[in-house]
Chains A and B, each alone.
Chain A
């Protein structure tokens, strides 16, 4: 089991600094998670740390492709507004 980073990532390093497994590394066009190292923070923290600090919605998904921070969940911007501004996606 491992989380993944999507194209929404802005490469801000926040997740790299808080990952207890050093599983996240800089890459182009965006950061990536080493799925051999990622434990989804089980045993270390109540919630995966990358998803707990990530400022960008839709940037982190689980193995099923579900967003850990779905559209609107961090900013509180209503879904209709996100759609109007082209900031909404159903899937990663």
Chain B
């Protein structure tokens, strides 16, 4: 069965063209391609809808510590509160503690729509803890949507249970469909009371993932597929993966970059497996986008993330803080309904409104990548304060969101953890390197020194659009560049000064 997919391909393929959401990402009518019942399921899901992630919040509860496979990008020992990556948590919870936490967060953050269980191990390798949490929550806060992530190994045996608990969103991490590729990613699995190594283990895992995917989609449960892009291991192969999972009914494919630092102690980290460059990631996402909807706003969050995607508030909700909170659950649910309804109304209004194709740009102008230090859809951050840059592509068809690039290093290990002992110079150089491929960087303000270094690197700093909506600012700057004639192939120098 083939479900329709969300289109967030280049604007010229989407109706109307251009992206008119005030933040980043999908054209607002991208979701309207889906049948109503599917659209209704994803339009307020911050992880599935690029548009919704600006308004709706989610949380993960870390009730699932056990795992039944080993991935070469994972190290089960690691727990660092300064880090943000999958599989990492600070505080493991029992189902009872998890419910208490969810209810407290959902009262404090009324934008919350989704509870996910994503680890730190595999939720379906912890079936009792996972399903007890879902069961209690659907009783106590029936308005919160439930979702679960899995490596897929135990998925077929729990599909009925997933359907029973009204979990209508499942994420499966599928990195390969070929056991020989799989053996380079998964050293072993635990299956039928045995540890099975290498190709044999990978083959079973792949069969279970594919079977689970088919079973879920045939029951109408929405499936997103996550893939980790591992250069030289599965990069080309992921194009094949994308085709297959789309054919089997997955509605969204999320290709994420490998995180592999030696200090994480993972196999890939220690063996110096390269991470993909932003360009490699974007090229692969673009290649897969021809076959199915791609997700570009994923922040690869922790298994105990709380709040809006990209703004973790986990520190405010540790168990000791929750224990002393005074929460009125009934009032909280009423308030959530009001908040959710008003956000949906706003999104609906935006959805009906499509932007015309931009005028005054010569046909054949080449696209330009720009980095934006943005917040809440505005050019709002100081260059030096930006923890991430949002990357946009401007072209004669309009402006589209490409990705975000983090400026901070992941935790540098025990010694330097949280101390910020980095030389400012090298930090600046590294942040400029993060902007590779961009010709302009938009920010609210920028210092004298980075200005000079950016110009020397061929990236034009621009602080003239502070507090303006990002997409309007990007288009204005694009038109300015176009007006100089530098975007047409006939000119000798294509470089923006």
**Known interface pairs A17-B126, A81-B270; A74-B70 also in contact (CB < 8 Å):** yes
Question: Are A75 and B193 in contact (CB-based, < 8 A)?
Answer: no
Q: Closest CB of chain B to A79's CB: distance in Å?
A: 12
Question: Are B76 and A77 in contact (CB-based, < 8 A)?
Answer: no
Q: Is B212 at the interface (CB under 8 A from chain A)?
A: no
**Known interface pairs A55-B67, A85-B265, A85-B270; A45-B193 also in contact (CB < 8 Å):** yes
The 8 Å CB contact of A76, one of B120, B187, B265, is B187
Q: Report the bound CA distance from A17 to B126 in whole Å.
A: 8
Q: Closest CB of chain A to B62's CB: distance in Å?
A: 11
Question: Are A12 and B121 in contact (CB-based, < 8 A)?
Answer: yes
The 8 Å CB contact of B65, one of A12, A45, A53, A75, is A12
Q: Which residues of B contact A14 (CB under 8 A)?
A: 65-68, 121, 125, 190
Q: Report the bound CA distance from A47 to B72 in whole Å.
A: 24
User: How many interface residues does chain B have, given as a range?
Assistant: 20 to 34
The 8 Å CB contact of A52, one of B72, B126, B190, is B190
Main secondary structure of the interface of B (DSSP, over half): loop
Question: Are A13 and B194 in contact (CB-based, < 8 A)?
Answer: no
For window 247-265 of chain B, which residues contact chain A by CB distance below 8 Å? 262, 265
Q: Which residues of A contact B190 (CB under 8 A)?
A: 14, 18, 52-53
Q: Closest CB of chain A to B192's CB: distance in Å?
A: 10
Q: Which residues of B contact A13 (CB under 8 A)?
A: 65-66, 121, 126
Closest to A81 in B: B270
Question: Are A53 and B187 in contact (CB-based, < 8 A)?
Answer: no
Q: Which residues of A contact B120 (CB under 8 A)?
A: 12
Q: Is B495 at the interface (CB under 8 A from chain A)?
A: no
Q: Report the bound CA distance from A60 to B136 in whole Å.
A: 35
Q: Is B56 at the interface (CB under 8 A from chain A)?
A: no
Q: Closest CB of chain B to A55's CB: distance in Å?
A: 5
Closest to A14 in B: B66
0 or 1 for each of A1-35: is its CB under 8 Å from B? (1 = yes):
00000000011111011100000000000000000
Question: Are A49 and B66 in contact (CB-based, < 8 A)?
Answer: no
Q: Is A92 at the interface (CB under 8 A from chain B)?
A: no
Q: Is B451 at the interface (CB under 8 A from chain A)?
A: no
Question: Are A49 and B193 in contact (CB-based, < 8 A)?
Answer: yes
**Known interface pairs A12-B66, A14-B121, A55-B67; A77-B194 also in contact (CB < 8 Å):** no
Q: Which residues of A contact B126 (CB under 8 A)?
A: 13, 17
Q: Is B134 at the interface (CB under 8 A from chain A)?
A: no
Question: Are A74 and B65 in contact (CB-based, < 8 A)?
Answer: no
Q: Is B195 at the interface (CB under 8 A from chain A)?
A: yes
Q: Report the bound CA distance from A75 to B65 in whole Å.
A: 19
Q: Which residues of A contact B92 (CB under 8 A)?
A: 11
0 or 1 for each of B186-203: is its CB under 8 Å from A? (1 = yes):
011010011100000000
Q: Closest CB of chain B to A90's CB: distance in Å?
A: 19
Q: Report the bound CA distance from A83 to B187 in whole Å.
A: 20
Question: Are B188 and A74 in contact (CB-based, < 8 A)?
Answer: yes
Q: Report the bound CA distance from A18 to B128 in whole Å.
A: 12
Closest to A82 in B: B270
List 28 interface pairs A-B (beta carbons < 8 Å), by A numbering: A10-B76, A11-B92, A12-B66, A12-B67, A12-B76, A12-B120, A12-B121, A13-B66, A14-B65, A17-B125, A18-B190, A45-B193, A46-B193, A46-B194, A49-B193, A52-B194, A53-B68, A55-B70, A55-B76, A56-B76, A74-B70, A75-B72, A75-B267, A76-B267, A77-B270, A81-B271, A85-B262, A85-B265
Binding site for A on B (CB under 8 A): 65-68, 70, 72, 76-77, 92, 120-121, 125-126, 128, 187-188, 190, 193-195, 262, 265, 267, 270-271
Given contacts A75-B187, A85-B270, 14 further A-B contacts (CB under 8 A): A12-B67, A12-B76, A12-B120, A12-B121, A13-B121, A14-B68, A17-B66, A17-B128, A18-B190, A52-B193, A52-B194, A52-B195, A55-B70, A77-B267
Binding site for B on A (CB under 8 A): 10-14, 16-18, 45-47, 49, 52-53, 55-56, 74-77, 81, 85, 87
4 closest A-B pairs by beta carbon, nearest first, are: A14-B66, A53-B190, A12-B65, A13-B66
